[in-house]
């Protein structure tokens, strides 16, 4: 039984979402440590989060522009950063987790976002 539990732990650990990149929010590093497929929250995109509780949602608008929403720590309400310059590429195949990359240059009245990120195994 113990070997079985160890096997299950290794399988789930290998399925964890992974994010790499160099993102900055308001000039401060945003080191995303997790990613989630946006479909689980009702939007077609990806949500990146850091260890400080900040979240960033990225999606493509219908006309192809990139949209982003920033959630400060503990906030259930995000701030739309408007249409971003840059690109968002996302891929999923059947039941496979979401993966992709983004290059961003966004600015609202209160916040600015810049940099790049790659993400994989986002469930």
Under a CB-based contact definition with an 8 Å cutoff, are residues 7 and 104 in contact?
Answer: no
CA distance 26 to 121: 27
This prediction has a pTM of 0.84
Banded pLDDT at 93 (limits 50, 70, 90): confident
Strand-pair partners of 88: 102
Residue with tokens 């994989």: 120
Banded pLDDT at 61 (limits 50, 70, 90): confident
Indicate if the pLDDT at residue 2 is higher than 80.
no
Indicate if the pLDDT at residue 14 is higher than 80.
no
Q: How large is the average pLDDT for residues 87-116?
A: 91
- For 30-56, write each residue's pLDDT tens digit: 999 999 999 989 999 999 999 999 999
């Amino acid at each position: 039984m113990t070997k079985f539990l160890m096997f299950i732990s290794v399988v789930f650990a290998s399925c964890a979402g992974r994010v790499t990149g160099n993102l900055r929010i308001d000039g401060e590093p945003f080191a995303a440590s997790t990613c989630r497929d946006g479909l689980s929250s009702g939007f077609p995109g990806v949500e990146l989060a850091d260890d400080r509780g900040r979240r960033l949602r990225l999606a493509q608008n219908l006309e192809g522009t990139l949209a982003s929403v920033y959630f400060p720590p503990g906030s259930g309400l995000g701030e739309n950063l408007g249409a971003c310059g840059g690109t968002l590429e996302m891929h999923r195949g059947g039941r496979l987790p979401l993966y992709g990359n983004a290059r961003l240059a966004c600015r609202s009245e209160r916040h600015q976002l810049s940099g790049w990120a790659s993400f994989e195994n986002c469930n």
